[in-house]
Chain A
């Protein structure tokens, strides 16, 4: 998360170009978005596909940050989360051939079915925020995993805080 602020600033600088591009998706074939590539020319000199390549999914997940965290039993976005999502929305607007599935998760301190519903709430909070920033709704799906897929396994807050998350998983391809 510590990288996020910097990443968001870089993207803000790039956003003017991105926003002029019409929001297209559908029919994309997984190729690199030329507009986005042009906009980033000269800023990065990293191997294609690595986290240093701003057009890569790795850049999205690692440099921008693919996840936002929530406080206990809440689905409200924190200011930090909104900053990350600003970065995500910029990237998604620049890379219209990518789709996203937003996964909602909960920590283990809750009953299974309630946590499924809570995960759905979190995923939806992220989806609605991205839509409010201009990402077309039909590029965004949600799925809740409740407490079924923890990434940190200890039973205290240091792990719980990582597990209460919504993760934006991007994939190239058309919308089914």
Chain B
């Protein structure tokens, strides 16, 4: 995959080297050195002057797509849309020359232009992205085609392109979240699996509320979901096909209770917890052959496993030290090493898709936090604090963490939140009722 921004960045560096060599040294001493550490904590301003409707009947799509693109970008907290009322020049047609000076004057760093046409049930979306201060196009113009009912996904794809060209990392807008939808009072809560776009749109229920369902997890390709269900009367691991909504209990190593299932990085095995006689250990079962192996063997609770993106290691929680803490071991088992050493208890570790961080739930002094640390346990940072935050899941690009926050008291309810890995841009993810146990799927193809 090409990285337009990186290419641009490299070209820029090359130009600098040539310019630097040609400049005679005039100064007597070294350069003036100043440290700057108080910037404006402000998102990058962009202008998105609407998408042009190129055919009759495409006006609504053009407006909706432009709106979703802007919402995606502004929703990251890293970008801010400039009020169109402050535009100096008319955006002009999709192919027209851009009057960069006019956009610079209103401090637009990026300019997004787009056009939409509809023919039959087919929708075509085109866009171009400009680096206003560089005075040129950032990457090349792009065209997306699909059916009209997929307009939201096309908007997300445009926003993902803009995001990745400006930031140099992949986006996360064209992705879905599977979670547990909750309704009813705290002592009679009804739970069912649901799936939705990352921004809460296109919600669909996957199970009914006849039995408790817990902690769903997407397969690496997003086509299947593993979760814990009480349908049999006892907690058992179930596998659900997202497209057909067909589901079945999977055959694991025999035990009184199986739960906390996660896919292996290749999607072929399930790693999970199994309880027998009150003791909980981690196991792995091949979904194809049914062959099982035991990964931990300790008289303590071992649960909440998460594989490293390369599949070589597992981070999990264990109370073998007396309290819940995080450990890492080889994906085949073996001696684990503890990585969490701060105050309080640590649980639900989730390895970042980038591989560099582990997100977790921390309990300390009656409060819950979502935090991140390096994979060796260093540089712990708490991103949130509340009465009850738990169960982080990473955006496909490892930039954002989504989790469930439950409010206090008899009328307490759980809803989903997301937060930037820097701890900023905390916001609620809209769901029709209560929601918990989110699992963020991959970018869709």
Q: A and B: direct contact (Cβ < 8 Å)?
A: yes
Binding site for B on A (CB under 8 A): 73, 75, 108-114, 116-118, 120-125, 127-128, 141-146, 148-155
With A151-B187, A153-B410, A155-B408 in contact, do A113 and B278 touch (Cβ < 8 Å)? no
- Report the separation of the CA atoms of residues A125 and B185 in the bound assembly, to the nearest whole angstrom: 30
Among the interface residues A113, A118, A120, which one has the most CB atoms of the partner chain B within 10 A?
A: A113
CB pair A142 B256 closer than 8 Å: yes
Q: Can you list 10 A-B pairs, Cβ within 8 angstroms, ordered by A? A: A110-B363, A111-B347, A114-B304, A116-B228, A124-B278, A142-B278, A150-B187, A151-B187, A154-B409, A155-B387
* Residue B175, interface by CB 8 Å: no
CB pair B388 A108 closer than 8 Å: yes
CB pair A111 B391 closer than 8 Å: yes
- Report the separation of the CA atoms of residues A41 and B180 in the bound assembly, to the nearest whole angstrom: 52
The A/B interface has a contact count, at CB < 8 Å, of 107
With A114-B324, A118-B301, A120-B278 in contact, do A154 and B259 touch (Cβ < 8 Å)? no
B412 to chain A, nearest CB (A): 6
CB pair B278 A121 closer than 8 Å: yes
CB pair A143 B348 closer than 8 Å: no
With A120-B278, A144-B275 in contact, do A153 and B388 touch (Cβ < 8 Å)? no
CB pair B409 A143 closer than 8 Å: no
- Report the separation of the CA atoms of residues A141 and B256 in the bound assembly, to the nearest whole angstrom: 8
With A153-B185, A155-B387 in contact, do A113 and B408 touch (Cβ < 8 Å)? no
* Residue B219, interface by CB 8 Å: no
Residues of B close to A145: CB separation below 8 A: 212
- Report the separation of the CA atoms of residues A92 and B147 in the bound assembly, to the nearest whole angstrom: 65
- Report the separation of the CA atoms of residues A125 and B273 in the bound assembly, to the nearest whole angstrom: 19
- 5 closest Cβ pairs, A-B complex: A124-B278, A111-B347, A117-B280, A117-B301, A120-B275
CB pair A153 B273 closer than 8 Å: no
Residues of A close to B348: CB separation below 8 A: 111, 113
CB closest chain-B residue, reference A148: B212
* Residue B406, interface by CB 8 Å: yes
- Report the separation of the CA atoms of residues A73 and B300 in the bound assembly, to the nearest whole angstrom: 13
- Report the separation of the CA atoms of residues A154 and B186 in the bound assembly, to the nearest whole angstrom: 9
B44 to chain A, nearest CB (A): 36
- Report the separation of the CA atoms of residues A149 and B319 in the bound assembly, to the nearest whole angstrom: 23
CB pair A150 B214 closer than 8 Å: no
Residues of B close to A118: CB separation below 8 A: 301
Residues of B close to A142: CB separation below 8 A: 256, 278
CB closest chain-A residue, reference B323: A73
Contact code string B294-324 (vs A, CB < 8 Å = 1, else 0)? 0000000101100000000000010100011
Which among B256, B303, B409 is the interface contact of A155 at CB below 8 angstroms? B409
Which among B186, B187, B273, B319 is the interface contact of A113 at CB below 8 angstroms? B273
